[in-house]
């Protein structure tokens, strides 16, 4: 089965109980192997309240977590280097590079954050 990389915003929406995100995750889990980058794990822990840790851990345990390899780091660096947008964060480049290297679509509610034409985006908020 093909992987799908879930952006941090999708994971946050699921954790906050947003029905659209939960339905989206259920739908993609029927067709893909849901994954996330270790970068998303770090981003979740930055904003997590103590009472959210159990739910966060449960969600993360249900996903395949993809580490940053040398290849992912190199691709992310290329994505960041060629952009003219100062808004494009290195973390987003690393998440996009994870999807690219894995040959997986990237599910996000922040489509504008990912101008890379090499990756396939799925809008999680439609």
Q: Please, what are the domains in the chain? A: 3-123 (3.40.50.1010)
What percent of the chain has a predicted confidence (pLDDT) above 70? 100
Is pLDDT of 4 > 80? Answer: yes
Is pLDDT of 1 > 90? Answer: no
Measure the CA–CA gap between 45 and 43, rounded to whole angstroms. Answer: 5
Count CB-CB contacts under 10 A for residue 51. Answer: 7
Measure the CA–CA gap between 122 and 10, rounded to whole angstroms. Answer: 11
pLDDT tens-digit readout, 46-104: 999 999 999 999 999 999 999 999 999 999 999 999 987 778 899 999 999 999 999 99
Mean pLDDT (the chain) is 95
């Amino acid at each position: 089965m093909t992987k799908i990389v879930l952006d941090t915003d999708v994971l946050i929406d699921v954790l906050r109980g947003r029905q659209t995100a939960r339905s989206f995750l259920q739908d993609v889990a029927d067709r893909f192997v849901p994954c996330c980058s270790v970068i998303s794990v770090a981003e979740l822990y930055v904003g997590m309240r103590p009472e959210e840790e159990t739910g966060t851990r449960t969600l993360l345990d249900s996903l395949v977590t993809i580490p940053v390899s040398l290849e992912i780091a190199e691709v992310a660096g290329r994505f960041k280097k060629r952009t003219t947008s100062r808004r494009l964060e290195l973390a987003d480049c690393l998440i996009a590079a994870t999807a690219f290297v894995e040959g997986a679509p990237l599910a996000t509610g922040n489509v504008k954050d990912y101008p890379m034409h090499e990756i396939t985006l799925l809008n999680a908020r439609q």
